[in-house]
Amino acid sequence: MRVRILAAGKPALAYAKSGVDEYLKRLGRYGSYELEYLKAGDSATVSAALLERSAGNFRIAMDERGEVLATQSWADKFASLEMRGDVKAVSFLIGASDGHTEELRQTCDAVWSLSRLTMQHELALVVLLEQLYRVATLRRGEPYHR
């Protein structure tokens, strides 16, 4: 199963750039993880572009209003998605400064939160990538997650 991460706007902050590079490099050992950037803009424009680019994928909106799950639950949900024959790709959608539209949240297959805190979108991207890495190591029985 391909894992796509679609984010609005390339990271501009040094810590975010190096965090993204680090976790993408690590994830390369665990499968197909693709990070794609879309042009940042207002909420309606970015949400429409995110939905268009992720058409046909199992879409997970990353949003502070979403379901807060433990890392083990992320791993369990990944395993269930892989068991389904109809999911070839999952797309995680990160919004821009104004967040997602209600329409995007309603259209997505799931809405997940990284916590109830509102994070700057570059930080949310780094946290998401670290969780994907954690889930990948957990599923292989490696000792990173403890």
CA dist list (Å): 140 to 7, 33, 48, 134: 27, 16, 36, 10
For residue 37, how far is the Cα from the chain centroid? 12
Considering the complex, state which of residue 28 and residue 117 has its C-beta at the smaller distance from ligand SAM. 117
Considering the complex, state which of residue 59 and residue 100 has its C-beta at the smaller distance from ligand SAM. 100
Give the strands of the sheet with 89-94, arranged side by side: 33-38, 2-8, 89-94, 58-68, 110-113
Q: Are 113 and 66 in contact (CB under 8 A)?
A: yes
104 assigned to a ligand binding site: no
Binding site for ligand SAM (CB under 6 A): 62-64, 94-95, 97-100, 113-115, 117-121, 124
Q: Which amino acid is at 21?
A: D
119 assigned to a ligand binding site: yes
101 assigned to a ligand binding site: no
Closest separation in Å from C-beta 143 to ligand SAM: 27
Considering the complex, state which of residue 11 and residue 99 has its C-beta at the smaller distance from ligand SAM. 99
17 φ, ψ (degrees, to nearest 5): -60, -45
- Closest of 40, 25, 29 to residue 129, by C-alpha: 25
Closest separation in Å from C-beta 22 to ligand SAM: 19
Considering the complex, state which of residue 29 and residue 71 has its C-beta at the smaller distance from ligand SAM. 71
Q: Are 36 and 25 in contact (CB under 8 A)?
A: no
Closest separation in Å from C-beta 101 to ligand SAM: 10
128 assigned to a ligand binding site: no
Closest separation in Å from C-beta 19 to ligand SAM: 14
Point out the annotated binding site for S-adenosyl-L-methionine.
Answer: 95, 114-119
Point out the annotated binding site.
Answer: 95, 114-119
